[in-house]
A and B are shown apart, each in its own frame.
Chain A
């Protein structure tokens, strides 16, 4: 009888929590109040420097994407020179992807990090060789057409 009473009390506590969660969920899931669209002009010098390739289309980007890019740009100034270059070169392509494509890319990247280090290195070498071959082919093609 005592156990049943405790069981009923536990159920009531969980039901209250569940109801509270339903009431609070929209506030918890929604973006913070600071998620208002930000014009390119209102960005700081550091933010403009990191996001420079997006200067032209920045004001037309959805506000959620703007917020995400601003958070990503926070780490820009800790990058090496080569990394900064890559970051800016890829930023335009990255911003043109759909949210689903970006999420899929994150999942793929995470999965790739779980691959054993030696296998990962082999894949990296293979891709580098492929890129070099492509670069050589395109150079040859350009030289042939120039002749």
Chain B
């Protein structure tokens, strides 16, 4: 025959017994709880990167993540393409300017 444990009663008993503890024990327990919580806070961000499975973290999981990554890559490609085109245009304009300037080409060439 087993006796069923009522969680409410257990909690009540624990509260009652904790009230009987002396102040130094209570403060030691409170200190230990505080330390444990602090350790947990420090560990939580590092566990996300140091699971040893970092490639898993770098791969997008949901469709939304794939979409966001695709969008970022598209923006990156567009920006690089635009920058390259602008630079080419600038070089061509400079070349024409040097080749047609009032000053002889030797002034700008070593």
A residues engaging B (CB < 8 A)?
1, 4-5, 7-8, 11-13, 15-17, 19-21, 24, 28, 68, 71-72, 74-76, 79, 83, 86-87, 90-91, 93-94, 97, 101-102, 104-106, 108-110, 112, 124, 127, 131
Contacts and interface: CB of A to CB of B under 8 A. Distances in A.
A104 B25 CA distance: 78
A24 B73 contact: yes
Nearest to B75: A17
Interface in B34-71: 41, 44-45, 48-49, 57-58, 60, 68-69
Pairs of residues from A and B, 10 with the lowest C-beta to C-beta distance, nearest first: A4-B45, A83-B100, A105-B108, A72-B95, A71-B92, A28-B80, A108-B108, A75-B96, A106-B94, A20-B73
Contacts of A124: 102-103
B97 to A, nearest CB: 6
Contact of B49 (A8, A72, A108, A131): A8
Given A12-B58, A101-B109, A131 B96 contact: no
Contacts of B108: 105, 108-109, 112
B81 A28 contact: yes
Contacts of A101: 109-110
**Chain B: interface size category:** 35 or more
B96 A97 contact: no
A44 to B, nearest CB: 17
Contact of A17 (B76, B91, B93, B105): B76
B103 A90 contact: no
A117 B92 CA distance: 23
B57 A12 contact: yes
A24 B76 contact: yes
Contacts of A106: 91, 94-95, 98
A3 to B, nearest CB: 9
B88 interface: yes
Given A90-B105, A93-B105, A75 B84 contact: no
